[in-house]
Amino acid sequence: MIEVKSSEKAAHIERDAKAGLKQIEAKNYRNCEGLQGVRVLREYGIGCYHLKSHVEGQYLELDTQGCWEKKADPAR
């Protein structure tokens, strides 16, 4: 999942990238019913200002109770 934020200042791109990640959770974008069959998620918040950008990411796995757990990304 990706949420992109357009920043008003270059100094705000990191803050806005983190806000993008928070929005994914707050607006329930990772609702299990809408993601049937998905067991792993990578979420990215991106803050952009002109040609500058900042990316924040997290890796989640679905547990046995149907809740998303943040884990260390095995690709790193």
pLDDT digits (tens, 9 = 90+) for 9-62: 999 999 999 999 999 999 999 887 778 889 999 999 999 999 999 999 999 999
* pTM passes above 0.85: yes
Calpha distance 54→17 (Å, rounded): 6
The residue ranges of every structural domain in the chain are 2-71
pLDDT in tens, 37-48: 899 999 999 999
Q: What pLDDT does 66 receive?
A: 87
Burial class of residue 39 in the structure, from the number of CB atoms within 10 Å of its CB (0-12 exposed, 13-18 middle, 19+ buried): exposed
